Amino acid sequence: MTAYSRGEIATAKRIVVKVGSSSISGDSTWRIDPLVDALAAARARGQEVILVSSGAIATALSLIDFGETRPNDLASQQAAAAVGQNVLMWRWQSSLDRHRILAGQVLVTLSDMQNDTPRQNARRAIDRMLALGVLPIVNENDTVATHEIRFGDNDRLSALVAHLMKADALVLLSDITALYTAPPDRPDSRPIDTIAAGDDLSRFEFGGKVVNSVGTGGAATKATAARLAQDNGIGALVTSADNIGAALAGEHVGTWFAPAPSAEPRTDVLSVILHDEE
């Protein structure tokens, strides 16, 4: 596998792009069109793009009356996911229609990824979609997932997809332009430009997992996912969803996790994702 630099994202053959719930749901649904424009531009350059899209449950929150707060019970979350995933895919496809691009839905569970047969079936299906010019859109199957057996956030899922599909780069889209040395509201906090393979991440205060009305995740999960990709020789960029065009064009934005130059593909990727060992 070729180790790409940040500037070479524009020429990487295969890219996984992950977008979170807060970037495309609620008042942010307008962002789907510019995201699609950037993905279409990358495809026009001859690149293969796999989209990992959160947002099923968040999309349903404005359509179903759950009261004032995000539902916590499993049945309500599963029902919301079933409704929201349908609408989410409709929104993506409606925008993709402007570029005459067809999307394909890939819903996976943690159990699927733990089992070699469905995992390889997913890999073959995505490979075939890419060969047919279809844009694969991957999400966790929240309708059948449980609290105990699930990825929990799509940052980890996107790292696994990048590993499974032998991607050349992973782009993790966030609400902020880059990762910071400490919470961004702190006066001493500074944006991080580059993290080399083997750099000690413990000196940074990325903060814990964030759970809010639209999704889960946060800087810590993105750093974990980016480091996992990095260790497998896949460069990872963390930046704002508003920077998607610049990111895919190879411009100098966000925080770049430079790929390990002589990385041996890890066989324990799923274990690391599950147990947060990074």
Which parts are annotated binding residues for substrate? Answer: 54, 142, 154
Helix (H, G, I), strand (E, B) or coil at 255: strand
- Which is nearest to 55 in space by CA: 216, 273, 269, 229? 216
- Which is nearest to 209 in space by CA: 195, 223, 227, 196? 223
Map tokens 């995740």 to a residue: 217
For residues 185 and 46, what is the distance between their CA atoms, to the nearest angstrom?
Answer: 40
Binding site listing: 18, 54, 142, 154, 174-175
DSSP assignment of 82-98: HHHHHHHHHHHHHHHGG
DSSP assignment of 173-237: EESSSS-BSS-TTSTT--B--EE-TT--GGGS-----EE-SS-EE-HHHHHHHHHHHHHTT-EEE
Binding site listing for ATP: 18, 174-175
Dihedral through CA 88, CA 164, CA 229, CA 38, nearest 10? -40
